[in-house]
Amino acid sequence: MTESAADGETLRQSVRERYGGIAREKTVGCCGANGTPGASPPGSKTPNALGTGDCQPAYTDAELASLPEGSNLGLGCGNPSNLVILRGGEVVLDLGSGAGVDCFLAASKVGPSGRVIGVDMTPEMIARARELARSTGRTNVEFRLGEIEHLPVADTSVDVVLSNCVINLVPDKGQVYREAFRVLRPGGRLAVADVLATRTIPDELKNDPNGWASCSSGALTVAEVRGLLRLAGFVSVEVTVPGETFVPESLLPQAELGILSGEIRATKPRGPTA
């Protein structure tokens, strides 16, 4: 499964409009909210926690205090920079970087000799992230407008690829993983926090653009993600669902549908595979 059941461009536009609106309004919006305060994904009975401030429990108080004000919009479902060891001087790429929260955290870990690139398809998010980097003097971070299925990044130029609750929003996830593989250097690492499906998602939800934009319809199963990563060429593939033991308030509506926060790790081989 790499393509969505619904038209890909319709889904992209729904996602772009939702997250563009969040950036323009400068509001907090949980991954999983349906675009308005208190809304829930289709089929859910539980109100969403949009705007409660409890959208993203994965960051420590120290991490939150280190961030530029306004960079954390509560749109993630994990902390990808904690899923991998980031070393000083490395080049890190964030897929779907939003207002830059995970880019800024990664930048502090790779230091002034390292570099972090954020790619997002929403112009409003890119503008906001660039202004936050400029106004806070974060010179080792840059933001590029583009789709993560077609990354504006050179081949074998990145040490680590991160992403936080974004790949589920993309119609062709196999293409995203192939692009991640292309830009990684040999031995490069992939670390992704994303929602994963623990049971079959109803067809009506798969075809609903609002459900897709709310981090519901596009979730894949653990087996599907493993398969796509291996097809892309990755090794040491690990896909787990620690969310089965803890579900943040913001993801309770998805949990009712069997959609939980997951962790994805993989590595690009250092040499040709057999």
- Domains of the chain: which residue ranges? 8-56+76-267
Average pLDDT over residues 120-136: 95
pLDDT of residue 255: 79
- Model pLDDT for residues 240-270, shown as the tens digit of each residue: 998 666 666 666 777 778 888 899 999 999 9
Task: Residues 8-56+76-267: name the CATH superfamily.
Answer: Vaccinia Virus protein VP39 (3.40.50.150)
Beta strands in 11-133 (DSSP E): 91-95, 115-120
Eight-class DSSP state of 126: H
pLDDT of residue 1: 42
- Model pLDDT for residues 103-123, shown as the tens digit of each residue: 999 999 999 999 999 999 999
pLDDT of residue 75: 83
| Average pLDDT for the chain | 83
164 pLDDT more than 70: yes
Q: How far apart are CA 252 and CA 254, in angstroms?
A: 5
Q: Please, what is the angle between helix 8-25 and helix 123-135, to 10°?
A: 40
